[in-house]
Structure 1
Amino acid sequence: MRKLRGRSIRVRPIAEAPPLDYGDAPVDPYRHSLYTPAELYDVRPYADSLDARTYAWSRETPTPQATLAQALHDHAIDEALTTWVTGRHLVGVMGGHDLDRSSAGYADAARLGWMLGQHHVVATGGGPGAMEAANLGGFLAHFSRDDLASTVATLGAVPSFHPSIDQWAAKALTVVDGMRGGESLGIPTWFYGHEPPNVFATAIAKYFRNATREAILLQVCGAGIVFLPGAGGTVQEIFQDACENYYATPESVAPMILIGTRYWTETLPAWPLLLSLSRGRAMEGHVHLVDTVDDAADLFSA
C-alpha cells in the first residue's frame, strides 16, 4: 500500500510477462550480423530459399507478433550495419533495377563500380540491374578490366531475372564460386521482394521497411553518391539525398553526381531543380552533372 497526496492506493504486482512469440518468422529478430548471399540463397529452387520464404511471410496479414519481429529484425540490422561500416569509406551507386545484363548501360555501371572500388567500398540498393552491375564492379575491383568485361559477357547469357530468378542467380553464383572478390555492400528490402538480391554484394543489410532502408542507404554513403539513369526510385533517392545535403553543415556534405546530361535535363529533368536548390547552400559546388561513368569516377579521384 502506498500513499499519494494523502490518499492510500493499492499497487498490484505486475504479472510476469509471457515469453515473446514471433510466430513462424523465418528470420532471427536478434541476428548479430549482416546477411551473406549464401544465407539468402540457402536452398534451391529460389522459391524455397530464405529470401523467398521471408518475402512470402512479410506479405501475409500482419499480426502483432509478426510486426514486432520485423521491427526487432530491422533494429538488429541497423546495429550490425553500424558495426560493418565503421572504418570503411562507402560510395553509393543508384540506378534502375531493370537494366539488362547484356546492355551497354550494364557494362558501364559495372565499370563505374570497378573504378570506384579501387579506393572505396561500393554500396547499392542490393537488387538487380544497375545495382547488381555496380556491386559486380566493386567485387572485381582488384581484378583487371579484361576480367570485368569477360564476366559481364558471361552474365549476359542470362540477361534478366525474368522469367527465371533461379537461372539469373545461378549464372551469377558460377562467377563468385571460389573467387575471392572485394567487399561490396547491398541494402535491399523485402518491400520490393519481387526483386531478388544480387550475389555480388558480399554484405547484405536487408530490411523489411523500405523507408528505413532508403534513409540508411543514403546515410552510410559518406564519400558521395553517383546516380545513374533510373525512374521513380532513383528520382526519390536524388531528392532525399539533396534534402540531407541542403540542411547539412559544410563538413558533412556528400558529393552528388548525376550521369547523363540529356537524361537528367530532358527525359527526367531532375538536374535543373537540384541545381536551383543547391544555390547559396553548403552543397553548392558538390553537385555535378556528367556524361560518362569515367567522368564520374574522376571526381572521386580528383
Structure 2
Amino acid sequence: MTCVQPNSQPPAPRRAHGHDYEIESLEEFDRVVASGSLAGHRVQSVDLTDRTFALLGTDTAESVFLGCEMEPDAAAKVRAGGALVFPPIPGLPFDPYRGDLHGPDELFEGLVDSGYDTTPDARTYRWYQETRTDGDIFASMLRSIHDDAISDALDEHVAGARVVGIMGGHALERDSAAYAGAARLGRRLTRSGLTVATGGGPGAMEAANLGAYAAPFDDGMLDSALELLAKAPHFTPSITDWARTAFDVRRSWPGGGASIGIPTWFYGHEPPNAFASHVAKFFVNAVREDGLLARSNAGVVFLPGAAGTVQEIFDNATPNYYESRGEPTPMVLVNRAHWTEKLPTWPLLQALAADRPMAPRIALVDSVEDVPEALARLTTGAAS
C-alpha cells in the first residue's frame, strides 16, 4: 500500500452532484481523457495497463486511483502529478475497490468443474475467517473499503427504482409449498414493476429471487424450475449440488428477470443464491441488514422465519417508529399463525405502532397471495 508522504496533501473530497467524477470502466476512462483532464476524478478498479500513453499525457492532479493496474512508469507519473494511488492487493480472493455489484457467475466461478470450495465466494469466506479475529488493521481496512464500495455501487444500482424487500428464513426447502409460494410472490411483484430485493441467501430468499428470475417467462417455467430444484432441496449437506441445480435452471432458461440479493460472509455457512442478478455481498452483517431495509422504499414483506427474520422486523420497525428515514414504509407480515402464535411478533408490532404514523403502514396477512393487495393498500396509508 502506497502511503501519503507527511508533507503532501491528500486529494480533496469531491463535491460534485451525483457520481459523474467516478470512473468505473475503460469506456468512462477514455471519455474523460478525451475531454482533456483526469484531475479530481476517482478511478475505481479499472485495468489501465493498456492506457500508459493516456496517463502520461493527462492531468491527474487531486485524482485517486483505487485498485487500478498500471505500468510502473504510469504509476510513478500519476503520483508525481498529485494523484493518490491505492494499488491492487495481490493474493486477495476479492476486489476491495470494486465499482460494481457482484454477479452470481463471478461468485460461483469454478463451481461446475471444481465444486463450491474453489469458488471466489468460498475462498473469500475462508479469508474472512482467518482475518476477522487476528486484529490485523490492514485486513480490517480492506473489509471496510470493500463494504463501502459495495454500498456505493448498490446506491447507484437502485437509484430511481421502487424496491420491495422480501425477508424470510434460510431453512425453507425447495420442494416445499412455502418455497413455491415465495417464488410466485417474487414473480408477481416483479411483473408489477417492483424491484425485488432479498437477503440473497437460500430458502425463502432464494425463492423470491427465483420468482423474479422467472418473471419474463410463461407461468409453466416456474413449475418446471421448481421440479428441477427439488433434486437438491437444501444447501446441506452439499452446497455444490444445491448451487449446481440452480445454474442448471439458469442454463435451461437464460435471460431471466433482474433482482437484488444482499447476503453476507458473516454467515459463511449460508451461501448466496444464484438467481439474484445483482449481488451486494458484505462482510459486516449489520451494514448488510440496514442497507437492505433502508433501500426497500416500496415496503418490506416478512415471510415466516426465525431469529434473523424477527430481528429484521424490528430493525425495520425502529426507523418507522421514529420516522428517521422520513415517511414510514409498508410492512407486511405473512402467515397469521406464525406471527401471532409460534413467534408472537405481530402483537408487539401493533403495540409499537399504536397512535404513530406507522400504524396505517403495517399489515398481517394469511398468505403470499394477499401481499400485493396489502402493499398497495399500505402505500396509500389507508388503515389496515
The residue identity in structure 2 corresponding to 1:257 is: V
5 Å matches for 1:65-84? 65-84=138-157
Name which of 288, 310, 319 aligns with 1:235: 310
Task: Tell me, yes or no, if structure 1 residue 51 matches structure 2 residue 121.
Answer: yes
Shift in Å at residue 138 of structure 1?
Answer: 0.9
SS at match of 2:305: coil
Shift of 1:250: 9.6
SS of the equivalent of 1:92 reads strand
Cα offset for 1:271? 0.1
| Counterpart-to-counterpart distance in 2, 1:18 and 1:291 | 55
The within-5 A match list for 1:19-34 is 22=89, 24-34=91-101
Matched, 1:116 2:189: yes
| TM-score after normalising by structure 2 | 0.72
- How far residue 220 of structure 1 moved from its aligned partner, in angstroms, is 0.7
Is the 8 Å Cα contact of residues 260 and 278 (structure 2) preserved in structure 1? yes
Aligned ranges for residues 1-302 of structure 1 at < 5 Å?
Answer: 14=6, 22=89, 24-44=91-111, 45-61=115-131, 62=134, 63-118=136-191, 119-177=193-251, 179-248=254-323, 252-302=327-377
Q: CA deviation at 1:143?
A: 2.0
- Does 192-201 or 176-185 show the bigger shift? 176-185
**What one-letter code is carried by the residue in structure 2 that aligns with 1:33?**
D
CA offset at residue 267 of structure 1?
0.3
Using the alignment, how far apart are the partners of 2:85 and 2:162 within structure 1?
44
Q: How far, CA to CA, are the matches of 1:226 and 1:141 in structure 2?
A: 18
- SS of 1:111's partner is helix
SS at 1:300's partner residue?
helix
Q: 1:65 offset after TM fit, Å?
A: 1.3
- Give the SS at the match of 1:208: coil
Q: CA deviation at 1:297?
A: 1.9
Match of 1:8 in 2: none
Distance in 1 (alpha carbons) for counterparts of 2:259 and 2:159: 14
Task: Tell me the CA shift for residue 47 of structure 1.
Answer: 0.2
- 1:24-72 CA deviation, whole Å, 9 max, x = no partner? 4321111000000011001131101000000000001432211111000
Structure 1, unaligned runs of 5 or more: 1-12
CA contact (8 A) 2:319 2:325 kept: no
State the shift of 1:23 in Å. Answer: 6.7
For residue 252 of structure 1, give the secondary structure of its aligned residue in structure 2: coil
Q: CA deviation at 1:88?
A: 1.3
Q: Cα gap change, 1:142/1:298 in structure 2, threshold over 3 Å: closer, same or farther?
A: farther
Q: By how many angstroms is 1:296 displaced?
A: 0.9
Cα distance, 1:194 vs. partner?
1.0
Cα distance, 1:145 vs. partner? Answer: 2.5
1:104 aligned partner, one-letter code? A
Seen in structure 2, the aligned counterparts of structure 1 residues 281 and 31 have a Cα distance that, compared at 3 Å, is same
User: Matched residues in 1 for 2:240 and 2:362: separation?
Assistant: 39
Aligned-partner Cα distance in 1 for 2:218–2:328: 32
The alpha carbon displacement at 1:14 in A equals 2.3
1:251 deviates by 5.9
* Superimposed CA distance per residue, residues 7-35 of structure 1 (whole angstroms, 9 cap, x where no aligned partner): xxxxxx82789977857432111100000
- Evaluate the alpha carbon distance shift between residue 247 and residue 28 of structure 1 in structure 2; reply closer, same or farther with a 3 A threshold: same
Measure, in 2, the Cα distance between the counterparts of 1:191 and 1:76: 17
In structure 2, what is the Cα distance between the partners aligned to 1:135 and 1:209? 22
Count, aligned residues: 290
Give the CA RMSD over aligned residues.
1.9
Q: Please tell me whether the aligned partners of residues 99 and 105 of structure 1 are also in contact (alpha carbons under 8 angstroms).
A: yes
Q: Does the CA contact (< 8 Å) of 1:90 and 1:121 recur in 2?
A: yes
Cα offset, 1:148, TM superposition: 1.3
Q: TM-score, normalised by structure 1?
A: 0.91
Corresponding residue SS for 1:257? strand
Distance apart, 1:244 and its partner CA: 1.1
8 A Cα contact 2:147 2:283, kept in partner: yes
The percent of aligned pairs where both chains have the same amino acid is 49
Distance in 1 between the 2:184 and 2:301 partners?
13
Cα pair 1:22 1:65 within 8 Å, conserved:
no
Supply the distance in 2 between the matched residues of 1:123 and 1:201 (Cα, whole angstroms): 8
Is the Cα–Cα contact under 8 Å of residues 114 and 140 in structure 1 kept in the other structure? yes
Residues 176-185 or 159-168, more deviating: 176-185
1:283: Cα distance to partner? Answer: 0.5
